[in-house]
A and B are shown apart, each in its own frame.
Chain A
Amino acid sequence: MLTENACLSKSKNVPWRIIEGEAILVNVNSSDIVHLNETGAEIWRIIDGKTSISKIIEHISSVFEVNKEVAKTDVLELLEDLIEKNILETSSFK
């Protein structure tokens, strides 16, 4: 279960691109390709191993002008999915 003070890192085995607001991630471990829409791509972009999940939620709420609860649900759902696919790694807890 993710907590909002956790920080996440991108896996080194995931080549990726963000172009025209959308992201493509290649999961080398499972030979899968993941396509992220504009919101997902923005979440992916700001994951750097230092930014906490709560900061990501605030950022998404602000950029896409949605209330914090909606942003929280969307962010956590995506992050949990990407962790399950070994695309994201939990790097530390603040």
Chain B
Amino acid sequence: MTKTVKIKIADVCFEISLNDIKIRSLKKDLIFWTKRRFKDFLSKERGGFFIDVEEGYAIDKWEDIRDVKLVGDKNNSRFTLRLNGSEIGFIDTRTNKANIKMGAWRSNDKVFLLSSFLEASLQLALIQNSGFLVHSCGVVKEKTGYLFLAPAEGGKTTVAHKSRKFRVLSDDCNALKREGNDWFIYPTPWGRLPNGKVEKVRLAKIFFLKKAKYLEIKELSFGNSLIRFFSQIHMSGIIERTDLAEKILEEIENLARNLRFFELSFSKKSRIWEAIGNK
């Protein structure tokens, strides 16, 4: 029986080991749902980041697993995952090893928790490799990448609908990585991935979305772009570490120096791609 699931997102290879789950039916169930959840990102490559999944978190009352928090330690490379004050896992950014203890939750909840844990692990792995995850909708038009940033309910999915004739990457969360002074977008399993393609694409322009009754595109200043960009990076528990905050700042600075940032005000009826074409 397969004991590991290998996943590759934004060129980061994860090896998720379920060896420590003793109950065979649980292991089988979790492997099935994990493979289904990440079907477009399954890989045969050996992992560079290792996640051990265990049983063993005792529950004495009903808990909402959405209350799980990642807590950074200012003094070392370890982040702990906490649920109502109890440690249920850790991520070590020095060794690229992580561990998560599952409770007797439903399969859906286990996969949800594993997915959130994987997202946090990926963010930490990316930050150390000139990248980060960002709340965004990614679109590829004529081999060029466009990134649309907004918080939840900020219009990312609307932009994805308006971009159906192009290749839409994730409509909620994309990874950005720098190679020299070039930036690339990678889709992620978070958000909808309409066509299942996971290849990277060179990023050309970044738009901050603003819901409005009119259509307007205006270029933003450096400071304005940087502060808005920073607030759309997945940061839970991470910003508490000065070294990582410094690293993110360094990379966003490179991004702002090499790309143009715009504010796109639009309504549901706006023909955004006609306006973008002129920029």
Contact = CB atoms under 8 A, between A and B. Distances in A.
Contacts of A2: none
A22 B226 CA distance: 10
B245 interface: yes
A69 to B, nearest CB: 27
Given A17-B253, A28-B240, A33-B230, A23 B245 contact: no
B249 A17 contact: yes
Interface residues of B, number: 21
Contacts of B256: 19
Interface of B: 74, 221-224, 226-227, 230-231, 235, 239-242, 245-246, 248-249, 253, 256-257
Interface residues of A, number: 17
Contacts of B231: 33
Contacts of A72: none
B242 A13 contact: yes
Nearest to B256: A19
A13 B242 CA distance: 6
A22 B249 contact: no
A35 to B, nearest CB: 4
Interface string A36-55: 11000000000000000000
Max chain B Cβ within 10 angstroms of own Cβ: one of A20, A23, A28? A28
A20 B241 contact: no
Contact of A28 (B221, B223, B242, B253): B242
Lowest 4 CB-CB distances: which A-B pairs, in order?
A: A22-B223, A15-B246, A20-B222, A35-B227
B223 A26 contact: no
A34 to B, nearest CB: 8
Contact of B221 (A15, A16, A22, A31): A22
A65 B224 CA distance: 25
Contact of B241 (A16, A22, A28, A37): A28
A47 B249 CA distance: 20
